[in-house]
Amino acid sequence: MFEQSFKNIDNILHTDSGCGTELDYVEQTSWILFLKYLDDLEEDKKKSATLSGKSYEYILSPEYRWNNWACPKNGGGKLDHNKALDGDDLKEFVNNKLFPYLKKFKAEDPNTIEYKIGEIFSELKNKISSGYKLREILNVVDDMHFRLYEEKHELSHLYEAKIKNMGNAGRNGGEYYTPRPLIKTIVKVVNPKIGDTIYDGACGSAGFLVEAYKFLTENQAKLSSSQMATLQTKTFYGKEIKSLAYIIGIMNMILHGIEAPNIRHTNTLAENINDIQEKDRFDIILANPPFGAGIGREIQQNFPIKTGETAFLFLQHFIKILKAGGKELSLEGTGMALGMLPESTYEEGRADLEVGDILVLYTDGISECRSPAGEEFGTGRIVRAVRRLAGRPAGEILGAIFSDLREFTGGADPDDDRTVLIIKRPAERAS
């Protein structure tokens, strides 16, 4: 239905001097898709309001609605070439009017469309240098729709393929993409239930949240309307600092059926973990946080254990924000084999642990995992069993895990995206 449309868009962008990489292709396709989705959403809401005998107030002013600036129609429902902007006129409108207008949207609640509009366009730029090529792309996207399940289903698969291509494209593409077979394995191991709150503090393209949604809706026909409402608004939560990753994550969730993704555009590490209260905590954490040194001292002040290593800081954040009795799973490729630790409190740089199981799985690439009991999650092998640790300094615990992994990999450092640590936090007390 839409596969050729995506190919046509890529072909157009490939010939535009402003877009040179897969990252550019996904970014520019995403903001246009988002505005088309917004138009479909508003028209559906207007129709519902009319059927209920109510009026509907549009989010966007008339000048900035899709059917006015992008693809105005004539009486026969075809593109009105007399009204449709093209070339430099179109480019000037988009750069000097449309984007500045959309940047002004502000809202506190990430569940709202207004929040998403403001955050998406706050830093995003139109990189399509030719107004004529932009016109071609708008005409292609105008034939795409987000109203029927079948339409969203196909678009979601095509969009995932674009994200995968971006992740394999070099430069920084891998920052936004974790191999989906591995994510599916992780979600299956954690086994979320409807009613759980699921959080990713570095959600990127929202792969973990999307796969968790797909896992929970495998038997969608058997789910009640209240259960579906819970999945839509009270289950999935994320945070992402980068604008490109934010819009990709938003579009990925929308196309997979989550109409109002609860993702904040923010720096997770800028939040002081001492401010986290019980109401802020989540039942399940699924994440592949970034790694690397260079975090400044002003950010380190938000954590009991000071370090410039990003993954260490995310580790502390995840421990603190997990509910008692919850499950954490983190995928790390840092060379330090960081993961989620059980019940923890922080005193003088220590992470004192209650007795808990730390299940360390080492995979050889994407999908092979087994539990200690031999249950298969994918295909392949498990290389590590269970280690029990209690009351030891955090550095010692992490060092022990890292030592194990070096042993099981023949002395080599764990490869990127291959170390999986699964922890079940004790339910009897919260940190």
Of 4-8, 90-94, 190-194, 356-360, highest mean pLDDT: 90-94
Considering the domain boundaries, does residue 8 fall inside one? yes
Same domain (yes/no): 189, 136? no
Q: Tell me how far CA of residue 245 lies from CA of 2, 71, 200, 238, in angstroms.
A: 23, 27, 13, 12
258 & 371 share domain = yes
Question: Higher confidence at residue 291 or residue 160?
Answer: 160
167 lies in a domain? Answer: no
Asked if residue 313 and residue 189 are part of one domain, the reply reads: yes
- 30: domain CATH number? 1.20.1260.30
pLDDT digits (tens, 9 = 90+) for 366-407: 333 333 333 333 332 333 333 444 344 445 555 555 555 455
Q: Residue 95 above 50 pLDDT?
A: yes
Residue 164 counted as domain residue: no
Q: Which range among 229-238, 305-314, 363-372, 407-416 has the greatest average pLDDT?
A: 229-238
Which CATH number characterizes residue 265's domain? 3.40.50.150
Higher pLDDT, 406 or 300: 300
Residue appearing with tokens 């290593």: 309
- Report pLDDT digits (tens) over 46-67: 999 999 999 999 999 999 999 9
- Identity of the amino acid at 221: A
Higher pLDDT, 249 or 289: 249
Which domain does 272 fall in, by range?
Answer: 173-424
> Do 98 and 233 have their domain in common?
no
Question: Under DSSP, is residue 259 helix (H, G, I), strand (E, B) or coil?
Answer: coil
Residue 166 lies in a domain: no
137 lies in a domain?
yes
- Average the pLDDT over 85-89 and give the result: 97
Q: How many domains does the chain have?
A: 2
User: How far are the Cα atoms of 127, 160, 253, 385, 410 from residue 205, in angstroms, in the given order?
Assistant: 20, 9, 9, 31, 33
Indicate whether 159 belongs to any domain. no
Q: Given pLDDT bands bounded at 50, 70 and 90, which one contains residue 110?
A: confident
Give me the DSSP letters along 58-69.
-SS-GGGSHHHH
What does the CA dihedral 245, 250, 252, 253 come to, rounded to 10 degrees? 140
pLDDT 10s digits, 165-194: 776 655 454 566 677 766 776 787 678 899
* Domain annotation covers residue 168: no
Written as one string, the DSSP assignment of 269-286 is GGS-GGG--GGG-EEEEE
288: in domain? yes
Residues 179 and 284 in one domain: yes
β-strands 344-347, 236-240 pairing: unpaired
Q: What is the mean pLDDT of the chain?
A: 76
Evaluate if pTM is beyond 0.85.
Answer: no
pLDDT tens digits, 205-245: 899 999 999 999 998 889 999 999 999 999 999 999 988 88
pLDDT at 331 over 70: no
Across 183-281, the runs of DSSP E, i.e. the strands, are 198-200, 236-240, 262-265
> How high is the pLDDT of residue 386?
33
